[in-house]
Structure 1
Amino acid sequence: MLKLHVTNETSRLRAVVLGRAKSNGPAPTLEEAYDPKSKLHIKAGTYPKVEDMVEEMSAVASVFEKYDVKVYRPTVITDYNQIFSRDIAFVIDDKMVKANILPDRAKEIEAIEHVWSQVPKENRITLPEDAHVEGGDVMLYDDYIFIGTYRGEDYPNYITARTNMKAVKALTELFPNKTVKSFNLRKSNTIPQDNALHLDCCFQPVGKGKAIIHKNGFLEAEEYEWLVNFFGKDNIFEITKDEMFHMYSNIFSISEDVVISEKNFTRLNTWLRAQGITVEEVPYAEIAKQEGLLRCSTMPLIRD
């Protein structure tokens, strides 16, 4: 049995699910794309090639090996996008919560049955069907759970709105010992620079008490201000609209002192090193074209 344990984003990682790009299938049509960034690359003819994405994910697997992290991979489903394992389930404390994701992606959860079945039954959580949530919107910070959501009445019109208030309520009830704080995120089906697909597309804690953030990802200024005050202005790395588009806030922590980051994130990586953090740089620019990066393609199972 798996003894799950995750309480924050930065404690030393011991076990993780890393997505797969092996049989990603042909590039989707515009109608099939779920997010504006993928659409942009489909139109431009620059949608990522499977072999490039496989290579990028192998680079991440090598870093995990270097740090002695146990890696689980989804079983391969032919011609199916299985890169973003963060979306399909997530661990809070010792519980694994199955995410209610877009219906087109339901098969992805079957591909980690070998992980799910190792979790004690009482620790496997399935939310009510109308409670929509994806793991990219769920961010742990010890006694807090930060959740990205979209509170607009027009929620059903946004394929980019992935977590609703019903899920926020369900998670609040499931974890009464935690303070759950939700954040209303900016959504756009058409303009990738204006779309915070998940909370980790515009915010992430890193190191010891520090955070990466993009102001425009938040619809309500006071919710953004709350985070800045919570971490303290001096501990915040503000990213630009363009940096959010390139997914600067979607790096991944192996510990408080080690992160995996995209090799082109020069400004961020320089700042991280100035904080005393070791930056393991990997190429991930092809996967980023699908509006997801390192945090999106990893699902931690055990952190110290």
Structure 2
Amino acid sequence: MNKINVHVNDETSRLRSVILGTAASNGPTPSLEDAYDPKSKLHIKQGTYPQIVDMVEEMTAVAAVFEKYDVQVFRPKTIEDCNQIFTRDIGFVIDNKFVKSNILPDRENEIDAIQYVIDQIDPQNVIRPPEEVHIEGGDVMLYGDHIFVGTYRGADYADYIIARTNPEAIEWLEKTFPQKKVVSFNLRKDNEDPYSNALHLDCCFQPVGKDKCIIHKNGFLQEEEYHYLVDFFGKENCFEITKEEMFHMNSNIFSIAPDVVISERNFTRLNTWLRSHGITVEEVPYAEIAKQEGLLRCSTLPLIRD
């Protein structure tokens, strides 16, 4: 069996290997009680929750882009009637370590479905945080020697099914990766209003290109933490998205290289801005999957970037 030498140090370096989720057996539309996020709830109520056939088509379009750029693609083993689209939640790579996430307990079998990939990584480089550490890949953003992490510091953390990365995770990252500067951001959470809920950090922020980022001010509970990022990248390098654009997940595109991204075809303003900065935009349809409060970054788990 070939060994996979995982390596990821940032969000935009040339992608070589990735796990792309699957919508092959997503199951029936969940009941409102079983929905994990306010955006899914909205579409369940409206009768517009996405159909499997449409989501499979959208993911096939992404797989085709990866093929075009000669990226090695793994897919999870199919679990009947299980939403396996969002592989970013269940694991992530920092430098040469694969971290298995501690996620919502009833999603544990999603990790089992990619175990065949994890088995190809040197066991010394596979780590799992202790039980009290809640962490999901959508909240973990790499930028060279920095790790940007979304969290929720409120005392009512337990009341939010959408609060996925706890303050204990910040401490764990600092201990486990002492060579990195870990910077955490308190995110706005709302169980009911998808326009005011940042499920993960990548729902309101993401680096793109060599020195730019996409950002949404209202996703951050502390204004000074939003300003930290604006100052870090420089105001002229930040693309500010509106509340409506955040709702449609404009910050959740995915970089194949500093000068190539996959983006949703309806993100007109963003895609125009990216092209104006010399970035090739591979447009795909992804509006159905977006109804579950996740987009392109959420459904990919990079294993190797140059």
Distance 1:154 1:256 in 2: 39
Match of 1:146 in 2: 148
Distance 1:236 1:157 in 2: 33
Deviations 1:88-138 (A, max 9, x none): 000000000000111111110000011111111111101011100000000
Distance 2:259 2:217 in 1: 25
Match of 2:185 in 1: 183
Distance 2:12 2:175 in 1: 25
Distance 2:175 2:99 in 1: 13
Match of 2:137 in 1: 135
Q: Report SS of the residue matched to 1:250.
A: coil
1:221 to 223, 231, 242: 223
1:111 to 110, 113, 124: 113
In structure 1, what residue type is equivalent to 2:261? Answer: V
Give how far 1:208 is off: 1.3
Give how far 1:180 is off: 0.3
Deviations 1:16-56 (A, max 9, x none): 00000000000000000000000000000000000000000
Match of 1:198 in 2: 200
Q: Report SS of the residue matched to 1:46.
A: coil
Give how far 1:232 is off: 0.1
In structure 1, what residue type is equivalent to 2:143? Answer: Y
2:288 to 273, 286, 289: 286
Match of 2:32 in 1: 30
Q: Report SS of the residue matched to 2:257.
A: coil
Distance 2:110 2:131 in 1: 17
In structure 2, what residue type is equivalent to 1:294? Answer: L
Give how far 1:253 is off: 0.1
Match of 1:9 in 2: 11
2:78 to 72, 76, 79: 76
1:174 to 160, 173, 176: 176
Q: Report SS of the residue matched to 1:82.
A: coil
Deviations 1:228-273 (A, max 9, x none): 0000000000000010000000000000000000000000000000
Distance 1:167 1:73 in 2: 27
In structure 2, what residue type is equivalent to 1:236? Answer: C
Unaligned ranges ≥5, structure 2:
none
Q: Which 4+ stretches in 1 moved above 2 angstroms? A: none
Q: Report SS of the residue matched to 2:239.
A: strand
Q: Report SS of the residue matched to 2:67.
A: helix
Give how far 1:61 is off: 0.0
Q: Report SS of the residue matched to 2:62.
A: helix
Distance 2:141 2:16 in 1: 18
Matched, 1:276 2:284: no
Distance 2:293 2:106 in 1: 17
Match of 2:66 in 1: 64
2:299 to 297, 300, 304: 297
Unaligned ranges ≥5, structure 1:
none
Q: Report SS of the residue matched to 1:31.
A: helix
Query: TM-score scaled by structure 2?
Result: 0.99
Give how far 1:205 is off: 0.1
Query: TM-score scaled by structure 1?
Result: 1.00
In structure 1, what residue type is equivalent to 2:180? Answer: K
Match of 1:55 in 2: 57
Aligned residues: 304
Distance 2:114 2:170 in 1: 24
Aligned Cα root-mean-square deviation (Å): 0.4
Distance 1:58 1:299 in 2: 16
In structure 1, what residue type is equivalent to 2:250? Answer: Y
Match of 1:244 in 2: 246
Give how far 1:174 is off: 0.5
In structure 2, what residue type is equivalent to 1:66? Answer: K
In structure 2, what residue type is equivalent to 1:17? Answer: I
Distance 1:145 1:208 in 2: 16
Distance 2:38 2:105 in 1: 18
Matched, 1:43 2:35: no
Match of 2:94 in 1: 92
